[in-house]
C-alpha cells in the first residue's frame, strides 16, 4: 500500500531540503536531505547495508521538528470538551476546512433554504455565533481557510454563502482553490489550532460524518500544523473576493 506522508517541518528558508515527513500509517519518520556520497565518510558508518542511503541534516532540524515521543498515543475528546475549547482559548482559534462537504451542514434546515434560494440564512443569535462574537469582541482572533474544489460542491457553495455569518461574528474567513492547496502540500486533514499549542484533528468517514476528535499537543507535531496554517493563510483570499472570482470563473 502506498505511503501517506504528512509534512512535519523544515528549517529551510527557501523551501528546499532538509525536511522531515511522517508516515501517518506506520509512524515512521522520513528524513529528506543532501545525500552523503563521500566514500571515506560512508566507510565510517556502522551497519550500513548495500541498500541503505545516508543523508546529512542539521541538528536543529531534528531538535525542532522530530517527534519527542517514542510512541504516539491517540487522545480523543468528546464533543462537549471540544466545544469548551472555543470558550477557554486565550488568543487564537483557527480552522482548515478540507472536505467537499459536511453531513452536519446537509442536515441543517438552512442547507435546504440555500438550495432553494442560493443564499444561506443568517442566525447571529445561535450559541456558536454568540460565543465567537464574545471572543472576538474581547480581542481574540478566530479564523478559517476553506479549501474549494473546481467546480465547487453544493456543500462548499453553501459555506461560501454562510461565510457572511462567520464574518459578522468577527471571524477572518478565507478560501483557497484545492489545486493551490495541493501544490502547497497543505494536506487533507481537517483541523483546528488553538493558541498555537493544541490541535484538534477532525476525523470524518466517507459520508462526511464526524467521527472522533483527536487532540495533539506534542510540540513538534503542533508546529507542523501551524506551518500549514501559515501557508494556507498566505495562499488564500477573503471569502468575498473569492466569491467574486467564482462568479467570473
Q: What average pLDDT score do residues 109-138 get?
A: 96
Q: What average pLDDT score do residues 40-59 get?
A: 88
170-201 pLDDT, tens digit per residue, is: 999 999 999 999 999 999 999 999 999 999 99
Average pLDDT, the chain: 92
Q: pLDDT band for position 127 (50/70/90)?
A: very high
Q: Residue 14: its pLDDT value, please?
A: 60
Is residue 72's pLDDT more than 70?
Answer: no
Q: Residue 78: its pLDDT value, please?
A: 96
Burial letters 195-210, b for 16+ CB under 10 A, else e: eeebbbbbebeeeeee
Q: Residue 86: its pLDDT value, please?
A: 98
Q: pLDDT band for position 74 (50/70/90)?
A: confident
184-243 pLDDT, tens digit per residue, is: 999 999 999 999 999 999 999 999 999 999 999 988 889 999 999 999 999 999 999 999
Q: Is 15 exposed, middle or buried (CB count within 10 Å of its CB: 0-12, 13-18, 19+)?
A: exposed
Q: What average pLDDT score do residues 108-114 get?
A: 94
Q: pLDDT band for position 13 (50/70/90)?
A: low
Report residue 74 as a C-alpha cell: 491517540
Q: Residue 120: its pLDDT value, please?
A: 95
DSSP string, 86-101: HHH-SSEEEEEE-SS-
Report the share of the chain in percent with pLDDT over 70: 96
65 or 164: which leads in pLDDT? 164
Q: pLDDT band for position 142 (50/70/90)?
A: very high
55 or 92: which leads in pLDDT? 92
- Give whole-number Cα distances, 149 to 99, 111, 152, 179, 234, in Å: 9, 19, 5, 8, 18
15-35 pLDDT, tens digit per residue, is: 667 888 888 878 888 899 899
Q: Residue 1: its pLDDT value, please?
A: 73
Farthest CA pair distance, the chain: 72
Amino acid at each position: 500500500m502506498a505511503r501517506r506522508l504528512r509534512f512535519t517541518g523544515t528549517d529551510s528558508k527557501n523551501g528546499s531540503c532538509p525536511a522531515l515527513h511522517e508516515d501517518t500509517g506506520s509512524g515512521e519518520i522520513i528524513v529528506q536531505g543532501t545525500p552523503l556520497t563521500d566514500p571515506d565518510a560512508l566507510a565510517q558508518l556502522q551497519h550500513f547495508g548495500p541498500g541503505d542511503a545516508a543523508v546529512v541534516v542539521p541538528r536543529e532540524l531534528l531538535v525542532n521538528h522530530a517527534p519527542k515521543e517514542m510512541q504516539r498515543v491517540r487522545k480523543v475528546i468528546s464533543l462537549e470538551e471540544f466545544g469548551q475549547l472555543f470558550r477557554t482559548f486565550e488568543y487564537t482559534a483557527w480552522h482548515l476546512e478540507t472536505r467537499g462537504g459536511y453531513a452536519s451542514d446537509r442536515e441543517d434546515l438552512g442547507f435546504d433554504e440555500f438550495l432553494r434560494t442560493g443564499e444561506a440564512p443568517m442566525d447571529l443569535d445561535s450559541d456558536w455565533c454568540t460565543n465567537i462574537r464574545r471572543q472576538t469582541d474581547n480581542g481574540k482572533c478566530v479564523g478559517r481557510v476553506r479549501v474549494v474544489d473546481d467546480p465547487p460542491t453544493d456543500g462548499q457553495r453553501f459555506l461560501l454563502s454562510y461565510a457572511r455569518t462567520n464574518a459578522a461574528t468577527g471571524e477572518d474567513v478565507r478560501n483557497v482553490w484545492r489545486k493551490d492547496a495541493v501544490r502547497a502540500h497543505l494536506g487533507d486533514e481537517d483541523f483546528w489550532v488553538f493558541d498555537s499549542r493544541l490541535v484538534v484533528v477532525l476525523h470524518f468517514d466517507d459520508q462526511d460524518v464526524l467521527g472522533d476528535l483527536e487532540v495533539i499537543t506534542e510540540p513538534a507535531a503542533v508546529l507542523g500544523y501551524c506551518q500549514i496554517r501559515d501557508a494556507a493563510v498566505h495562499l488564500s483570499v477573503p471569502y468575498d473576493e473569492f466569491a467574486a472570482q467564482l462568479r467570473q470563473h
